[in-house]
Every structure is written in C-alpha cells, then in structure tokens.
Amino acid sequence: MSREINLTYLNHPDVQALQLTDAEIVAAVEEGLRAQGLGQTTIAPRMHLVPEKDYPGHFNVLRGYIRTLGEHGVAGVKTVGDFYRNYEHGLPSELAILNLFDPKTGVPLAMIDASDITDMRTGAVTAIGAKHLARKDSKVLGHIGARGTSYWNVRLLDAIFDFDEIRVHSRRPESRDAFGAQLEKDLGKKIVVTTDWESTVRGADIVVEASRLEKPTPMLKTEWIKKGACVIPYGTMSAVELSLTDIMDKMVMDDWGQARSGPYGALRAHVDAGKFSEQTLHAELGQIVAGLKPGRQSDDETNLFWHRGLSLSDIALGHAMLEKAKKLGIGQTLRYR
C-alpha cells in the first residue's frame, strides 16, 4: 500500500498573513532569475485556453522547474484566468492557482492562491529589470494601467528609485483615481493621476505599459520616449508603435522562448515583423542578474525590457511563501491520498 501523502494549502488570507516584505519578494524572484541565467531551470512556453470566443478573457498555463530550490528542486504549474472585464463582477481581472511538486517523485507539495503571487512577481520582475536597465538616477515614473500587477510595479520600483514624481493613468477614471489614492497612502508621497497617455509618458525616465486593451492599438507613441529612458511594456494586447524598437540600444526579455508563444504580447507584432529577434535581443534578464551579460552601460542608452511572465518567478515566490508559512505555522494541511 502506498504511503499517505499530504500537501500544504495556502488560501488568500494565508498568503496575506505571511506579510512578505518588498525585500523578500524581490529576493525570491531574483533567485529564480539567477538560476535561469545559470542554466539551472527548465521552462516550458505558456499555453492558452480560450473557453468561448465571446467570453472576455482566457486562461494561461505556465510550467517550470528550478533545480536550486529545496533539497531536490521544485517543479510548478500555475493556471491563471485573465478576464479583463471582471471588474463588472467585483472580481480581480486575474485569479490564479499555483501547484508545486517534488520533481523526483511527482508528489504534490502545495496548492497556493497565486493571484497575489502573480501581482507580486510581476512587479518584482519589472523592478529588477529597471534596476539593471534604467538610469540609476531615474526620478520620474510614467505608469499606464491600474490592475493588480500595477500596484506592485510602482511599489517595488519606488523602493529602488525613490521617485520624485510618479504619474499614473488608466482608461477608467474611477480605477486610476483609486489607484492613485492607494499609492499615496502606502508610499507616503504625491501621485500625479493623469487623464491621457502622453502626459504620463513624455519625459519619464522609466515608462511601464500595463494596459488592458481589447485589441492591439498603438496608444504609446515612440516620439514620447526621451533619450536615456527605460521602457517596460507587457500588456496582453500590444499598445506600442512598431517603431518603438527602432530607438532602442538594448532590448531584453525575460525568456526568449516565450517570444513566439501564443498570439498575445506587447511586442508580438515586432517579433512577427523581425524587428525583435534573436539577433536584436541583447540578453535575457536572468543572464544579466547572473552577471553573464551587462545591463545598462551608459546614461545615454535607451533600453527596453519585455516580460511575458515567467513560471520560474511564480515557482520561486511560491516556494518562498511555502517556507515562510512552515516557519510561522500558517496554512492548512490537506490529505492528497
């Protein structure tokens, strides 16, 4: 008879009770990126499921393995629903479950509400990308979008750069006003809530585009990007002009293998047109974090970082949460068999 198997379940209140610090979030995600850069991971391209073409969303399935976590490494699969009109139902646009496994036996280790993980790890990857590709003296942030990941983008970026000016914009006035108010409360500094894309982006040192468009639309104009800026677009539907890549000195991605994965992504058209390719790719972020390739090398560089979202970041942050939960006695033990 096979032995009893139990797994740890961390629900949303459990994840919040962990109270991960900004430093803990960034450190966990950096560990996953470093392992990727050193070739100590396996990552499979994300898969998409569209239940009905008339439903306003789809599912992403992300899969990966990090050899350096725990005793034997950790494998993981995250399934996340991305439904951009969920606000109409009083729900977050992204709801996710992360499953962690022992890679030697396939035994399930944990099931975690990964909605916060998705937001936190996205913000951490944005911040880590900017740390290596933006000017060290960057003082103006222009941020498009007010979804869950946007909060962590701004919070973790500000933890690194301590901006003098933070501009935020999103399509719906109620969402951008609430977003600005939340950031002012949590960051303790004035937030400029704008009514258009241009005033958000023009002249900013770091530009983050996390919009929620229904179809690709070139809302962010290349001419607004100042020399020496760092641009980080990651909207599901492209919001940038095809000419954006023409002004870049360095172009970096989280994982090049995902550049051709599925029909979505901020630079989907740029890859299809050959403007962003293996030849024009400077590095994957993990290679820079691991010290194998340089990040920004001069203040004059105008750099771009495109991240599609890595399963490795979910797994690394989920594993950090699991380890902290064990120390604090948080979570439930569920019998698997």
Assign 261 a pLDDT band (cuts: 50, 70, 90): low
Q: State pTM to two decimals.
A: 0.92
Give the pLDDT mean for 291-320.
Answer: 96
The pLDDT tens digits of the residues spanning 33-87 come to 999 999 999 998 888 899 998 888 999 999 999 999 988 899 999 999 989 888 8
| pLDDT value of residue 215 | 86
Residue 161 has pLDDT above 70, yes or no: yes
Share above pLDDT 90 across residues of the chain, in percent, rounded to a whole number: 81
In what order do the strands lie in the sheet containing 57-66? Answer: 41-49, 57-66, 74-83, 94-101, 108-113, 6-10, 332-335
Region 203-221: mean pLDDT is: 91
pLDDT at 222: 97
pLDDT reported for residue 217: 86
- Distances in Å between the Cα of 57 and the Cα atoms of 110, 155, 213, 302 are 27, 27, 11, 33
- Model confidence band, residue 245 (pLDDT cutoffs 50, 70, 90): very high
CA 324 distance to own-chain centroid: 22
Question: What is the pLDDT confidence band of residue 116, given thresholds at 50, 70 and 90?
Answer: very high
What are the angstrom distances between the C-alpha of 305 and each of 154, 175, 226, 245? Answer: 16, 26, 16, 11
Q: Name the pairing type of β-strands 94-101 and 74-83.
A: antiparallel
Residue 262 has pLDDT above 80, yes or no: no
122-309, what's its fold? Rossmann fold (3.40.50)
Point out which residues pair with 192 in neighbouring strands.
167
What does the angle CA 231 – CA 145 – CA 240 come to, to the nearest 5 degrees?
45
Looking at residue 203, the DSSP 8-state letter turns out to be: T
State the chain's mean pLDDT as an integer. Answer: 94
Going from N- to C-terminal start, the domains of the chain cover 6-117+312-335, 122-309
Q: Is 287 exposed, middle or buried (0-12, 13-18, 19+ CB in 10 A)?
A: buried
CA angle in degrees (0–180, nearest 5) for 323-327-330 = 85
What pLDDT shows up at residue 143? 98
Please check whether the two domains, 6-117+312-335 and 122-309, share a CATH topology. no
Q: Any idea what DSSP says for residue 240?
A: B
The Cα–Cα gap between 207 and 210 comes to 10
Question: Is pLDDT of 176 > 80?
Answer: yes
pLDDT, average across residues 160-185:
96
pLDDT tier at 285, thresholds 50, 70, 90: very high
Q: Which of the four pLDDT bands, split at 50, 70 and 90, describes residue 263?
A: low
The whole-number average pLDDT for the span 119-125 is 95
Mean pLDDT of 217-227: 95
CB 177 within 8 A of CB 193: yes
User: Stretch 316-333: mean pLDDT, rounded?
Assistant: 98
Model pLDDT, residue 301: 98
Fold adopted by 6-117+312-335: ornithine cyclodeaminase, domain 1 (3.30.1780)
